[in-house]
Amino acid sequence: MVTTRAKKRAQQYPVTEDPQKTLRTSANTQATKASLARYARYQKMNEYVRIEYTRELMEKRNLIRDLSSLQVYVKRWVNEFAASEPQDLERLSDSQKCTIISSFKGYCVQEDWDTLMGHLSDLHRDMILEVFLETLLLKEVFEKIFNPLSANPFSATLWRSETIRLANSVKVKQANNTELGSYHQERRNSLLSQFVDTTLSGTPIQWLLKKPESQEEEKERRERLYELYQVAAETASTHANARGHYEFHRLDRLPETFDQASKTMEAHTYHFIAKESTRLDGRRVLIVVQPGVTLQWISETFMDGLTVCSPAYIVVEDPEGSKGLEEPKEEDKREFYNLLGSSNHSG
């Protein structure tokens, strides 16, 4: 029970709220609200980061898959139409041989023909026109179709990504307005037709191709090359909007010698080495059949990253390659025959 004296004292000395305490309470309330706001943003950002990380991961996986598929397209076309008979090689003049090697500057060591042949395995030497044709097609693809992807500085990759995405969107799920993307698709297909004709009529490709036996075969050769370039163009336009900076690794961007453990290089199929074999380690790189492709990027978590999208596909010094040739494992044989598109090999 409150006494009379206590009541009087309360009346004489009324209790007032501490102004400092009021300020502290207000500040705490504001801080709490700010913390809640930051937490909400953090939660949203985490979700965004997760979404972006998944998108980036799928982009890279799809690019790796598509570059591998493109290599198969090239390999099958080359196997079908390359000059591969001994007389095809014998009819080349010294001048033509010199022109072939000089046309692959940056992809092939610049040595005279006989010296280069002396560094190759017997199989590569016998199939050199096929190897050079494969190199030529991939050189055309990467220099004329893919090369613009690496033209922008790293700081401009976001701008490039969005610009190319909008310029090549042909579906509503890609962009609200697809008019520009449809125009570029039609224009691209029109230019590809000219590109095919220019490629087939030039040198040194005419020296690397077998002569068609009929007009039907010649027509098929052109149609399939058009399809190949179309796949390359679609692959380039699809992945051009990936966030990051592409780099292509030719002779000047690769180690001088082969290392089986490296993720940036892979021995040409005709070396026939098991995946874990180190037989070619330390051998000089002679021909870059396909340049290596890497993508440097900064993720939404602001961490630097480097993805090897496709290792450089190379021919290395291997003069004794056919002597004591390693017997490939069954899985390596199956992979090789699948690459050639053959269904009548059981290993």
Q: How many residues does the chain have?
A: 347
Helices 215-239 and 179-201 cross at an angle (nearest 10°) of: 140
- 62 — pLDDT class (breaks 50, 70, 90): confident
- Supply the range of the domain harboring residue 60: 23-339
Exposed (0-12), middle (13-18) or buried (19+): which is 105, by Cβ within 10 Å? Answer: exposed
Predicted pLDDT at 281: 96
Say if 266 falls within a structural domain.
yes
How far is 225 from 205, CA to CA, in rounded Å? 13
Residue 316 tokens read as 């290395």
Residue 174: exposed, middle, or buried by beta-carbon count in 10 A (0-12, 13-18, 19+)?
A: middle
Cα 121 to Cα 11, 103, 340, distances in angstroms: 109, 22, 20
Q: Mind listing the pLDDT tens digit for each residue in 274-291? A: 888 999 999 999 999 999
Place of tokens 């500057």: 105
pLDDT of residue 196: 93
The two three-digit tokens of residue 187, written as one number? 């224009």
Phi, psi of 11 (to 5 degrees): -70, -35
Q: What is the mean pLDDT of residues 181-190?
A: 62
What the block records as the tokens of 163 is 């610009």
Mean pLDDT (whole number) for 175-187: 56
Confirm if 236 and 145 have CB atoms less than 8 A apart: yes
How many structural domains are present in the chain?
A: 1
**Residue 121 lies inside a defined structural domain of this protein:** yes
Q: Which of 139, 151, 149 is nearest to 236 (CA)?
A: 149
Q: Mean per-residue pLDDT for 265-273?
A: 93
- The verdict on residue 16 lying in a domain is no
Q: Which residue has the tokens 């290089």?
A: 265
User: How far is the C-alpha of 100 from the C-alpha of 129, rounded, in Å?
Assistant: 10
DSSP-derived letter for residue 148 is: G
Better pLDDT: 32 or 100 = 100
Helices (H), ranges, the chain? 4-12, 19-81, 86-90, 94-103, 113-119, 122-126, 128-140, 157-167, 179-201, 205-208, 215-239, 330-340
Return the structure tokens found at 173. Answer: 């799920």
| Helix axis angle, 157-167 to 179-201, nearest 10° | 90
pLDDT digits (tens, 9 = 90+) for 100-156: 999 999 999 999 999 999 999 999 999 999 999 999 999 999 998 887 655 555 444
Tell me whether residue 15 is in a domain.
no
Residue 76 within a domain: yes
Strands 265-267, 312-316: pairing kind: parallel
Mean pLDDT across the chain, nearest whole number? 78
In a domain, residue 347? The reply is no
Tokens of 103: 């046309």
Residues 6+ apart with CB under 8 A from 345: 333, 337
CA 64 from centroid of its chain's CA atoms: 6
